[in-house]
Amino acid sequence: MISDFRPDLLRGKVALVAGASGGINLAIARRLGAAGARLAILSRDEQRISDAARQLEAEGLQVLACAADVRNYDAVEAVVRRAVERFGPLDIVVSGAAGNFHAGAANLSANGFKTVIDIDLIGNFNVLRAGFDHLRKPGASLISISAPGGSVPGLFQVHANAAKAGINMTVRCLAMEWGPAGVRVNALSPGPIAGTAGMQKLAATPERERAIKARLPLREFGSLDDITGAALFLASDASRYVTGTVLDCDGGMRLGDASGDALAPVPISQPIQTEVRP
């Protein structure tokens, strides 16, 4: 089990986590650090990333906090250089900075669309590209944070879904190009995760929470432990032969709406009746 991985699994490794001022990305940084990695974390908000670093340091982790906007390649590259100067070559890069909001396409401005593309898609490339020249090769692992919308269309998310679809293809292309150097490139696609700001908005009432869960094959929200365990797997040598993959950790969300009696499984004790017509 991923949760049973030994605590020194990443000892001696260096991990850079972008977008780690809170939420899923901060939780991933914490899990990687708890497994022994030294951490460089970055976010656009200097106060929030400093606060996040203090949290991690209070838990005994080695952390370098840097403020940078992932849309600015030079700023990201400067962070990478600081991390390498402090800890040495990078073994793990997690690109998770993102921006999003709900908007129907007819009411979405061109600037709003561009902003999300710039943060999510361009920012993702900037983080991975800036990290590439400073990786410990072979053996490095790059992980982008995607979303189910990268492969499944949805309402009011054309900007975010387009960006995540781009991330998924970026991961596959880079896996092909950088694989010969011993660099693995994968994406992690979280579904509805309890305790995150996004789910607090989407499931603001008990009724709404029940409705969302009813659509999931597993009928439950995931936890931060579920996501961080998947990230730890992709970051570690346990996935040494995995590259170019989008790992869905979404309770089956990408499969479609699993609510409704027609989709309920037939009990094993009940035979399935069939009719053969000539």
Peptide bond into 138 cis (omega under 30): yes
Spot the catalytic one: 43, 164, 189, 239.
164
Tokens of 134: 């400073």
Tokens of 254: 């990408």
For residue 265, what is the DSSP state?
P
| 213 among known catalytic residues | no
Residues 191, 253 contacting (CB under 8 angstroms): yes
Tokens of 214: 């009813």
Tokens 């009928």 sit at which residue?
219
| 164 among known catalytic residues | yes
Spot the catalytic one: 146, 189, 236, 239.
146
Query: For the CA atoms of 29, 199, 125, 71, what is the dihedral angle to 10 degrees?
Result: -100
Question: What is the Cα 63 distance to its own chain's centre?
Answer: 20
Active site residues: 146, 164
